[in-house]
């Protein structure tokens, strides 16, 4: 690569969003550079719905576990099991899953580079120049070589919640409220191992802990990853010790003695940005665009989808020469998922506000109508309208809980 090379698109960030955008554009015959930091692993529970496998042509071999139930645990220790009827939640380990996606992008024709984005510059003709530094590049005296410069007709910023591409190019991207998430990857106990109050270890069950001692405004989790497991939590409340909260979570779940393999932390955006592009040649995707679902914290499917939409928007702009096409990424995403994000945001702001409300929320999860509609919506990524009577029943039960007419 030389400074005179001009790519149709430079994708900054090789997570699910960036790798998907790079794959789609390369398959369409465009010249693409995928720039990614080497060795970074995002803290993530790793859940993906079956629809992700279908929509993004993911083989089941990328899964490290198939979860068939979830256990909701309340502040008082009430445990509600939610079996997944006729489906499953796929689990991935981001260390291996993200690299698989990057390899697929390269096989599709994208060029890969390992390095850190430093700034966005412009050549004399106005063409965007992505400046980046490879830690592996040393001069003949062992010093870091000068930053590299890569010309790009379009740039896709998929470089995380506090996107440097976004901060430099997209209005409003420099002020993104975030939850900070932390998790520990541990060696999973053998199936059936007695974990005390939480019962035997089930490698096919996710545990979701709604307890202000673990997280004052979000939740804690224990997600199986085959031989390993992800144990973590998230919060927006400053001053919360993430490590202490996770240690308490592990103790409560009988996992204190499990071997810790690695620890990771990162900011998670709270809601989609109002603007995803600069109207000229930059568009954001994934966490950089804020597409993590409120209440659940789910981000992988939405990152994959957002990356695809960013790739489609860039392809349209390349075809027509109209930079206004970049705005299609956000427009199409919000049309497909904006209502779900709005509902989940309301749910989080109300039910996660205090332990008494969390207690009632977990109690509601005992209801079969709630369970069925929750899993159908999760697995298919759309609001379920097939059973209007179930919606009416849920509304009435929800109202009863809100008014305190039902004991938790």
- CA–centroid distance for 73 within its chain: 23
- Do residues 221 and 207 lie in contact, with contact meaning Cβ atoms separated by under 8 Å? yes
CA 208/CA 74 separation, integer angstroms: 9
**Closest of 143, 126, 152, 144 to residue 35, by C-alpha:** 152
Tokens for 385, please give them. 């309208």
Question: How does pLDDT run across 195-206, given as a tens digit for each residue?
Answer: 988 899 999 999
> How much is the mean pLDDT over the chain?
89
Which of 45-49, 164-168, 398-402 has the least mean pLDDT?
A: 398-402
What sign results for the dihedral spanned by CA atoms 309, 314, 319, 322?
A: positive
CA–CA distances in Å: residue 297 to residues 30, 89, 110: 33, 15, 30
Sorted by where each starts, the structural domains of the chain and their CATH numbers stand as 7-44+95-174+271-340 (3.50.50.60), 64-90+177-269 (3.30.9.10), 367-403 (no CATH)
CA–CA distances in Å: residue 344 to residues 214, 293, 298, 339, 374: 21, 7, 11, 9, 12
CA–CA distances in Å: residue 98 to residues 80, 109, 283: 32, 17, 21
Neighbours of 328 (CB within 10 A): 19
CA 404/CA 393 separation, integer angstroms: 17
pLDDT band at 38 (very low <50, low <70, confident <90, very high): confident
- Do residues 310 and 325 lie in contact, with contact meaning Cβ atoms separated by under 8 Å? no
CA–CA distances in Å: residue 56 to residues 49, 67, 104, 112, 307: 11, 20, 12, 20, 11
CA 23/CA 311 separation, integer angstroms: 9
What 3-state DSSP class applies to 278? Answer: coil
Which of 153-157, 163-167, 403-407 has the least mean pLDDT?
A: 403-407
Question: How does pLDDT run across 342-352, given as a tens digit for each residue?
Answer: 888 888 888 89
Q: DSSP string of 256-303? A: TTSPEEEEEEEEEESS--S--B-SSSEEE-GGGGT---TTT---HHHH
pLDDT band at 406 (very low <50, low <70, confident <90, very high): low
Strands 69-73 and 32-36: unpaired
Backbone region of residue 286 per phi and psi (left: phi > 0; alpha: psi in -120 to 50; beta: other values): left
Strands 116-122 and 47-48: unpaired
- Do residues 34 and 18 lie in contact, with contact meaning Cβ atoms separated by under 8 Å? yes
Q: Is the pLDDT reported for residue 31 higher than 90?
A: yes
CA–CA distances in Å: residue 33 to residues 101, 102, 238, 323, 328: 14, 11, 38, 20, 22
Q: What is the pLDDT of residue 403?
A: 45
Q: Using a cut of 0.85, tell me whether the model's pTM lies above it.
A: yes
CA 199/CA 341 separation, integer angstroms: 34
Question: How does pLDDT run across 294-322, given as a tens digit for each residue?
Answer: 888 889 999 999 999 999 999 999 999 99
Count H helices and E strands in the chain, helices first: 10, 17
- Do residues 276 and 114 lie in contact, with contact meaning Cβ atoms separated by under 8 Å? no
Q: Which residue reads 């930059």 in tokens?
A: 282
Question: How does pLDDT run across 250-276, given as a tens digit for each residue?
Answer: 999 999 999 999 999 988 998 899 999
What 3-state DSSP class applies to 340? Answer: helix
Question: How does pLDDT run across 121-145, given as a tens digit for each residue?
Answer: 999 999 999 999 986 655 555 556 6
Q: Is the pLDDT reported for residue 396 higher than 50?
A: no
Question: How does pLDDT run across 277-299, given as a tens digit for each residue?
Answer: 999 999 999 999 999 998 888 89
- Do residues 268 and 297 lie in contact, with contact meaning Cβ atoms separated by under 8 Å? yes
Q: DSSP string of 133-144? A: E-TT-B-TTSSB
- CA–centroid distance for 93 within its chain: 12
């Amino acid at each position: 690569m030389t400074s005179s090379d001009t790519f149709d698109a430079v994708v900054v960030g090789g997570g699910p969003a960036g790798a998907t955008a790079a794959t789609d554009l390369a398959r369409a015959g465009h010249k693409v550079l995928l720039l990614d930091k080497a060795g970074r692993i995002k803290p993530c529970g790793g859940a993906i719905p079956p629809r992700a496998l279908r929509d993004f042509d993911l083989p089941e071999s990328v899964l490290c576990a198939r979860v068939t139930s979830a256990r909701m645990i309340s502040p008082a220790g009430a445990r509600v099991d939610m079996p997944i009827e006729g489906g499953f939640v796929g689990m991935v380990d981001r260390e291996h899953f993200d690299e698989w996606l990057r390899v697929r992008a390269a096989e599709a024709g994208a060029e890969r580079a390992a390095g850190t984005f430093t700034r966005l510059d412009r050549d004399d003709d106005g063409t965007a120049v992505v400046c980046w530094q490879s830690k592996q590049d040393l001069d003949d005296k062992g010093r870091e070589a000068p930053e590299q410069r890569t010309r790009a007709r379009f740039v896709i910023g998929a470089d995380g919640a506090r996107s440097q591409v976004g901060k430099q190019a997209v209005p409003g991207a420099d002020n993104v409220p975030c939850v900070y998430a932390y998790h520990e990857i541990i060696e999973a106990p053998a199936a059936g191992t007695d974990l005390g109050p939480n019962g035997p270890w089930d490698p096919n069950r996710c545990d979701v802990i709604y307890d202000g001692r673990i997280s004052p405004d979000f939740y804690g989790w224990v997600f199986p990853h085959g031989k390993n497991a992800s144990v973590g939590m998230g919060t927006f409340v400053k001053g919360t010790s993430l490590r202490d909260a996770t240690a308490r979570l592990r103790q409560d779940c009988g996992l204190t003695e499990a071997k810790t393999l690695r620890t990771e932390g990162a900011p998670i955006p709270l809601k989609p940005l109002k603007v995803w592009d600069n109207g000229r040649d930059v568009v954001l995707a994934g966490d950089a665009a804020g597409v993590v679902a409120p209440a659940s914290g789910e981000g992988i499917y939405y990152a994959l989808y957002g990356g695809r939409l960013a790739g489609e928007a860039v392809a349209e702009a390349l075809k027509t020469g109209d930079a206004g096409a970049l705005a299609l990424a956000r427009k199409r995403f919000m049309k497909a998922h904006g209502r779900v994000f709005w509902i989940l945001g309301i749910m989080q702001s109300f039910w996660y506000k205090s332990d008494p409300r969390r207690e009632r929320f977990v109690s509601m999860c005992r209801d079969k109508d709630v369970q069925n509609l929750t899993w159908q919506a999760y697995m298919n990524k759309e609001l379920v309208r097939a059973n209007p009577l179930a919606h009416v029943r849920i509304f009435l039960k929800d109202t009863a809980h809100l008014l305190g007419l039902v004991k938790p």
